[in-house]
Amino acid sequence: MLSLLGANTNAFLPCNENHRQTVSTSTSTLYADTAVSDVSMESSKSDAKSLGLLTFDLDDTLYPIAQIVEDANAAFVTAMERFGFEGVDAFDIVNTGKEVREELHAIDPEKAAGLTHTEKREMAIRREMERIIFARKLQQCADDWATPVESLSDVVRKPAEQWAKGAVSESVVQQVLTAWEMERHHSAERHIFPGVIDALKKVKEEHPDVIIGAVTDGKADPQLMTFTLAPYFDFCMSWEDEQGSRQKFFRDLNDVESTPELTWIYDAGRHKYAILKEAQCAINAAKTTTNGEESNIAPKVWPDSYDDLVWIHVGDDLAFDVGGSAACGAKTVLVELPKSLGQTAPFRFDTSIEQPFWATTSKSELEERIRMNEAARELVTTEINTLERLPIAINQILLDEA
């Protein structure tokens, strides 16, 4: 059995070497045409385990990240123009982000590896603003002296460059960054994969006490997607919330002598779940009646009382989603959608083709990720190629765990 917590363990303990569980390597596949009877699943529910925690990756699992990044970059251009920075291209923020990371890598590889998406994007926005201000200052000097910009010497260029750095407003940088992030969420709602909302509704109907969370290496938060995902999610854990552990992971990812481990972010998710589950149990207990009257006293609910609940993680990435969550005891659902839906996971780690325009993964990271993907393949519990099949996949896992 794979429950959320090992037998007789405390819900708040991390899944370190002493608390990790053995993961079954049996894998099933649920495709859109799989002959699975909903009626037979209904009749078997009484024999199945109960679902305690359901976690999701977000990017390329619930919506296509390439389209979302494209829309957000367009919003970046609009925001820059609104603050007087015309002439910026939608790809500039991506290319400048790569440039910033490469420059930092030459100076401090560990720090460059640990840069968050937000830090890199913020630095790219500031760099683009500096470039535009610098170019304008040089043009002003050239016009004043009736000379071509190309003829200006370093005596003029160096002070102008320093002046441009100081002229960038931090508040404007943050407003442009906010515009990018807002459009990221709006676009995700517009392009959410088919079947996602119906699947979430079905899961909540069949498992009303389940706690649903997101575990993401990006900046998205489903609780900010008011019209789609927000009603179904109880919490979100972003890699950017755990800076120290995140930086260590990326240092290890770039170090051939170290073994990168992702358990830290899933530890944080389990910790959040334990808190929410205990609160849920206490609330439910308080609603029970004593001698026909409602009780206002919530009895102490110990983690062991829900130790037998199952945790399932759903994602598109073998290394990050399957490998990381399985190491902490989760059963895993790998989402591999048709190419027509724009999912990029099958192509991000193919060294024979050009990587997505928004990707900033270094060569060493890419090679290590490929190795991690291969190791995680045997940890897949089941695969689906359409989100409509998710409720059935979940019920099948719970039945197999009984």
- Span 203-216, average pLDDT: 95
Is the pLDDT score of 173 beyond 80? yes
Q: What are phi and psi of 380, to 5 degrees?
A: -70, 125
Q: For residues 161 and 207, what is the distance between their CA atoms, to the nearest angstrom? A: 59
Note whether 325 and 55 are within 8 A (CB): yes
Give the per-residue pLDDT at 15. Answer: 56
Give the per-residue pLDDT at 44. Answer: 53
Q: How far is CA 343 from CA 73, 77, 203, 379, in A?
A: 18, 25, 23, 21
- Span 389-402, average pLDDT: 94
Q: For residues 39 and 149, what is the distance between their CA atoms, to the nearest angstrom? A: 76
- Span 147-153, average pLDDT: 90
Q: For residues 57 and 365, what is the distance between their CA atoms, to the nearest angstrom? A: 20
- Would you say the C-alpha torsion 22, 258, 317, 124 has a positive or negative sign? positive
Give the per-residue pLDDT at 28. Answer: 67
Q: Of 44-48, 227-231, 369-373, 385-389, which range is least confident?
A: 44-48
Q: For residues 147 and 136, what is the distance between their CA atoms, to the nearest angstrom? A: 14
Q: For residues 122 and 124, what is the distance between their CA atoms, to the nearest angstrom? A: 5
Q: Of 103-117, 215-229, 248-262, 314-328, which range is least confident?
A: 248-262
Task: List beta partners, residue 235.
Answer: 213
- Span 46-59, average pLDDT: 89
Q: How many CB atoms lie within 10 A of CB 70?
A: 16
Locate the domains of the chain by residue range: 28-64+192-401, 72-184
Structure pTM? 0.80
pLDDT band at 375 (very low <50, low <70, confident <90, very high): confident
- Span 99-111, average pLDDT: 81
Superfamily of domain 28-64+192-401: HAD superfamily/HAD-like (3.40.50.1000)
Question: Who has greater pLDDT, 306 or 192?
Answer: 192
Give the per-residue pLDDT at 20. Answer: 43
Give the per-residue pLDDT at 358. Answer: 52
Is the pLDDT score of 95 beyond 60? yes
Which region, left, alpha or beta, applies to residue 87 given φ > 0 means left and ψ of -120 to 50 means alpha?
A: left
Q: Of 5-19, 82-96, 321-335, 349-363, which range is least confident?
A: 5-19
Note whether 194 and 340 are within 8 A (CB): no
pLDDT tens sequence across 232-245 = 999 998 877 665 55
Per-residue buried b or exposed e for 9-20, using 16+ beta carbons within 10 Å of the residue's own CB: bebebebeeebe
Q: How far apart are the first and last CA of the chain?
A: 7
